[in-house]
Structure 1
Amino acid sequence: MAHILHLTERHLWDEARAAGSYEMSTRDRTLLDEGFIHCSLPHQLPHVAALLYGSPPARDDLVVLVIDEDLVDATIRYEPPTPGGEVFPHIYGPLPVSAVVAVESWPPTENAEARTPPPTL
């Protein structure tokens, strides 16, 4: 079971849970705008978070969606943002909330090992 990560704002995740699917691509950009949902591998997340929100972030409403790739219906492609660059996972379609197996605060708390499962709908 492979996990990929997506950093988002808590209110966007709350809205997605109510709707049944998540359709934001990255900060202020939707799946419709970009054509896919930007994701990261665990080692990539700190750099992505710093790029999008600063380090440390100037806000306290960020969460990391831990996504089980096997539960995503849409195509997932590993692609570089620029030719020859490091590859990042991209989800080419809506992310079903059922594919999110944990939700973590960002930046990580001292007890980051204890992942919080998403609430059951």
Structure 2
Amino acid sequence: MERFVYTLVRAADWQAALAAGEYRGSADDARDGFLHFSTAAQLRATAAKHRAGVADLWMLEADAAALGAALRWEAASGSSRPGLFPHLYAPLPLAAVVRAVAVPLEGGVHRFPDDIA
């Protein structure tokens, strides 16, 4: 569906992923059984809803094709937000990450790169 998918991770989790060679997800991901991703168009709303006030975030941009069949497009459970969300049913291999950038919190709002809608 989309060429790239995005996830938001805390700085310490990103550092652990760099050391391990893969990102295994947050406690929320473990609870739900998959890694939560968003499209570029969904990312700001996802940050506002699920990462409000979190100052140490990194945005990981992954090549959707590199994730293969483990990436599934599904409705978010219990959500009123329209559209399908990318869910990864495997650890995120670092080889699939095409960009990782810090997302500073400025005035209570996350500042994303300019190319994120």
The answer for the alignment partner of 2:45 in structure 1 is 47
The answer for the alignment partner of 1:96 in structure 2 is 93
Q: Alpha carbons of 1:73 and 1:82: their partners in 2 closer, same or farther (altered >3 Å)? A: closer
The answer for the alignment partner of 1:29 in structure 2 is 28
Shift of residue 52, structure 1, vs aligned partner = 1.2
- Give the Cα–Cα distance (whole angstroms) in 2 for the partners of residues 108 and 95 of structure 1: 24
The answer for the alignment partner of 2:62 in structure 1 is 67
Which 4+ residue blocks in structure 1 deviate beyond 3 angstroms?
82-85
| Contact 2:29–2:36 (8 Å) recurs in 1 | no
Q: Alpha carbons of 1:19 and 1:74: their partners in 2 closer, same or farther (altered >3 Å)? A: farther
Q: Which residue identity lines up with residue 49 of structure 1 in the other structure?
A: A
Unpaired stretches in structure 2, ≥5 consecutive residues:
104-109
Report the aligned-residue RMSD: 2.3
- Give the Cα–Cα distance (whole angstroms) in 1 for the partners of residues 71 and 90 of structure 2: 9
Which TM-score applies when normalising by structure 2? 0.78
The answer for the alignment partner of 1:108 in structure 2 is 111
Shift of residue 70, structure 1, vs aligned partner = 2.1
Shift of residue 104, structure 1, vs aligned partner = 1.9
Higher relative CO (Cα under 8 Å, sequence separation at least 6) belongs to: 2
| Number of positions where the alignment pairs a residue of Structure 1 with one of Structure 2 | 106
| Contact 2:73–2:87 (8 Å) recurs in 1 | yes
Which TM-score applies when normalising by structure 1? 0.75
Unpaired stretches in structure 1, ≥5 consecutive residues:
115-121
